[in-house]
Amino acid sequence: MLVLRLLNVVAPAYFLCISLVTFVLQIFLFIPSMFRDPSTTPLFSPALLHGALFLFLSANALGNYILVIQSSPEELGKGLNLGEGAEMVADWLDGSRSSGSALPSTHYCRLCARVTQRHDHHCFFTGNCIGSRNMRNFIMFCLYTSLACLDSLVAGMAYISASLSMSFANPLAFLTLLPHSISQFFSGALLSSEMFVILMLYLWLGIGLACAGFCCHQLLLILRGQTRYQVRKGMVVKTRPWRENLREVFGKRWLLGLLIPMLNVGSDCRRQKVK
């Protein structure tokens, strides 16, 4: 438990550090290197379009990240009839549910020491539990983080290609880039800044693929009307149309939430059931 609590503090700091490094590299290194002559740069140049795209992806990723943290599981559990006193806490710590729980997937998290409705899992990178209220923001956070990492990967490859005069037309060039760069770095033929960018390329690739895979997995569970907690506990879920499952998570204004970070306001069906 001590290791998990430490990870719950270190993981968000690690994510924010990686985000800051990515932002600095993009703004002060990758994007300026795309400008050949700033005085003759057209309004809709590839460099400006890339910068606008990166800022849009970063703003959405950071905005949804903040909304995931702000949608506290404690607020999700205020309307539950969980009983009173130490008996209620003991029941949750033992893994049992109170008879007055509003939902069968309501869960008490030992790390958060809070109760979450429609609990899915505990995310260490946000230091918060993912439930009915912040599920949509969490999926948007994973989606835009994946896109921002892949965007940084492409920009970084373009920078390395121009700096080292190499081509990535051959797919094996990226796979052999790291071992060759390490040997060149220790031989003094490669700058430390270029070596750092190369290491970040593989980090962006790993984070981007991980977030994309996790996002697809969450969408598959939503289409089936399930959560990871329900699958892990073997709970039987009533079959519903996939459109209704999507509407419950993303709401009626799903397109607006896809473009702008906003709180989840689409769980009207679930709110009516809780009432």
Give 139-167 pLDDT, tens digit per residue.
999 999 999 999 999 999 999 999 888 88
Q: Which amino acid is at 23?
A: F
What pTM value is reported for the model?
0.83
Average confidence score pLDDT of the chain: 81
Q: Catalytic: which of 123, 129, 142, 149?
A: 123
Q: Shortest CA distance to 264 belongs to which of 56, 61, 16, 70? A: 70
Nearby residues of 271 by Cβ (< 8 Å), 6 or more positions away: none
Please tell me the predicted confidence (pLDDT) of residue 82.
46
The number of angstroms, rounded, from the C-alpha of 264 to the middle of its chain's C-alpha atoms is 16
Identify whether 109 is a catalytic site residue: no
Report CA 219 to chain centroid distance, whole Å. 13
Confidence band for 252, pLDDT divided at 50, 70 and 90: confident
Q: Cβ(151)–Cβ(34) under 8 Å?
A: no
pLDDT in tens, 182-221: 998 998 888 899 999 999 999 999 999 999 999 999 999 9
So what's the pLDDT on residue 275?
42
DSSP three-state, residue 143: helix
Q: What pLDDT does 266 receive?
A: 46
213 or 32, higher pLDDT: 213
pLDDT of residue 253: 77
Q: What is the pLDDT of residue 35?
A: 74
CB-count exposure of residue 188 (10 Å: 0-12, 13-18, 19+): exposed
Q: What is the pLDDT of residues 58-111, one digit of tens each?
A: 999 999 999 998 876 554 444 444 444 334 444 444 444 444 444 556 788 888
